[in-house]
Structure 1
Amino acid sequence: MNNPYVEKEVDGDKSSDVVWHQASVSHGDHVKLNGHKAAVLWFTGLSGSGKSTVANAVDLMLHQRQAKTYVLDGDNVRHGLNGDLGFSDIDRVENIRRIGEVAKLFVDAGLLVSSAFISPFIADRNMVREQLAAGQFIEVFIDTPIEICESRDPKGLYKKARAGEIKNFTGIDSVYQLPVKPEVHIKTAGKSIEACAQQVVNYLQEQGYLLPCSG
């Protein structure tokens, strides 16, 4: 006898039997409970620019305001979800596609999710933006000159890239496409981590993301 609780196996292409299951608790319900709007803070910039550092500083500031948050970090995600991907252009596109889908789920849950990825291609960042409703994608450009990034080089990656030990390294032998109109443009040179983070929080405050909302 067929078990109605066993999902049908899908081999190859998507099956027409796979449909979106409508949750009993809506996005609006989550937002109302959390007390603030939901969005993706998409931190983009060169390796060593300070994306993860600023994203985590923003996350701490929001946490202290009792906002519901999470940080998706490029390196952390590649330990699990995207552990099968390399750094070719094709793999970079798939890396961002998967992260976009995960970020969208966090937004549906009513969170302010910070996503810290180089995400070098404009088309990929726009792809994630287009998956979300208006106002739910906030591009944060961590604008740090490559000279500063390379002088930091906390993981020794620039040194290896210059020596030819790493291929497809953004800023060296792989392109980084600058954001055209980021919602938040942070020029980090001469700024403290706290000042950079505060710029993001100020944007959220000014745009009404942190005000109590009814959904």
Structure 2
Amino acid sequence: MTNPMKISRLAGALYLVVVVTGLFSLVHVPSRITVTGDPSATLHNILTHNLLFRAGIAAFLVKQVAFLLLPLALFRLLRPVHRDAATLMVALAVVSVPIALVSLVNRLDALDILSRGVVDQSQSQATLALAAYGNGLLVTTLFWGLWLLPFGYLVIRSGFLPKVLGVFLVLGGIGYVSQVFWEILAPGVDFPTYALLPAAVGEIGICLWLLLVGARRSRRGIVQESA
């Protein structure tokens, strides 16, 4: 596939899968399952909403597969802009996938432990497994932020994608990285959620742009649209 419009639409479709499955597995499911500061209630919700919890795990797996393919499609599109930056973008995105998958094993372990039905022992073990998942997800978030920095830079420089979305991507990357170090260095202090808004605007915006509009003709000739 060499047509920039087709590549951009493919990247947009993959990004849409990442966004939808990410919102479901990382936002919707935790909002129904997790009770902050009350592990027992959280474990009770896992058992009560077992199918939802399993669906969240499945969606997270789909997200990782799509996120493995997404930077490769973006590399084909953005390589002419700056090859080194495009390579760095791919490396930072791809390295997050195995970390995320290893972290997800802890969530599967928690589900398996709870299914044994030995309440006194299983609750503490399952709580530790969920905590390990959260720690792994925190490390994964670091790379979810870092990959947005070269990605946003490439969007800004491209000439065929909106610069403003590139700015939001860079700010979003900074927000994710800041959140990781905030939670490590200031545990128990809530991270300001507004710092993550640029990431949401940038990622959803670029997803929809790639999918619905595609790569515009560059005045510098970086990208040539086929008829």
- TM-score normalized by the length of structure 2: 0.28
Hey, which of these two has a bigger chunk of helix by percent?
2
- TM-score normalized by the length of structure 1: 0.30
Hey, which of these two has a bigger chunk of strand by percent?
1
